[in-house]
Amino acid sequence: MELDYETADVFTTTRFGGNPLAVVHGAEALDGARMQAIAREFNLSETVFVLPSGVADARLRIFTPGQEVPFAGHPNVGAAVLLARRLDGAPATLRLEQEAGIVTAWITRNAAGTPTAAEIEAPLPLQLGANLDPAEVALCAGLPPGAIHLNGHPPIEAGCGLPFAIAEVEDVATLATATPDIAAFRRHLSRTGALLLHAPLGLGRRRVRMFSPLDGIGEDPATGSANCALAGLLLAVAGGSLLNLEVEQGVEMGRPSLLHLAARRDADGAIRVRVGGGVVPVARGTIWV
């Protein structure tokens, strides 16, 4: 059997920047084990498999090289743009079903009408988990014990459909020296398996790095789901009803990415977050399965 696939760079306007993504179309005949094997073959942060949906425009199954995940940001943003380019009728929005829920994607087009970017809302409101030991988090990041900055927030588990450990460091120079320690991850961060470090760049701007070595991702160039959690956390800490955030990621990897986030506090107190960015198609082909 042959299936069509496409690749794209997500959270960038420049080819070979951002976070690469593979999207496999017409995957309804594949079981989870075969999808996992294909994701390992692509060996990207995530591979998306597109299936029919009875309740949305498409159903997505999202795999890292090591496991299936219920939600991830750059797969939704990238898949939304690639699907919009394939559909007739120029849809302004797409609804994408996945394990964590239905994700709405708002499509941006250029002057010629070609989809070039998308914004999505995370399927779940911000969920805060346990505080984490700063020294243990520093060990996981290969940093000195005092490197974790505590003035903004303590290291904490947080997520909007997928949990992450989130910690702040004082500046981008400290951030640049971080190196994940797999043994420390196994000891101290096995529950989330993923750590987002962030540092201030100025008002409304952050630089981040995300490590997930237990899942085969030493470092991720752009992580929409983790940055949704970060934006929601920063709003929870700051108070108020709205927070806009611009995030740089992937700089240290030579794959600069730019993510635009908006967190809002609804009337019921729940914090919901949107993330968006550019998508650049790279390649298409056929995979034998």
Q: What are phi and psi of 48, to 5 degrees?
A: -105, 135
Q: What are phi and psi of 72, to 5 degrees?
A: -155, 150
Distance CA 276, CA 274 (A): 7
In terms of DSSP bridges, do strands 2-10 and 271-288 run parallel, antiparallel, or are they unpaired? antiparallel
Strands (E), the chain: 2-10, 19-24, 47-51, 58-63, 68-69, 93-98, 101-109, 115-121, 127-131, 148-149, 156-159, 163-169, 195-202, 205-212, 217-220, 242-249, 257-265, 271-288
Answer yes or no: 46 catalytic.
Answer: yes
Choice among 46, 97, 219, 248 that is catalytic: 46
Beta-bridge mates of residue 247: 206, 259
Handedness of CA 36, 216, 119, 77 (dihedral sign): negative
173 close to 142: Cβ distance less than 8 angstroms: no
Residue 183, Cβ neighbours under 10 Å: how many? Answer: 10
Catalytic center residues: 46
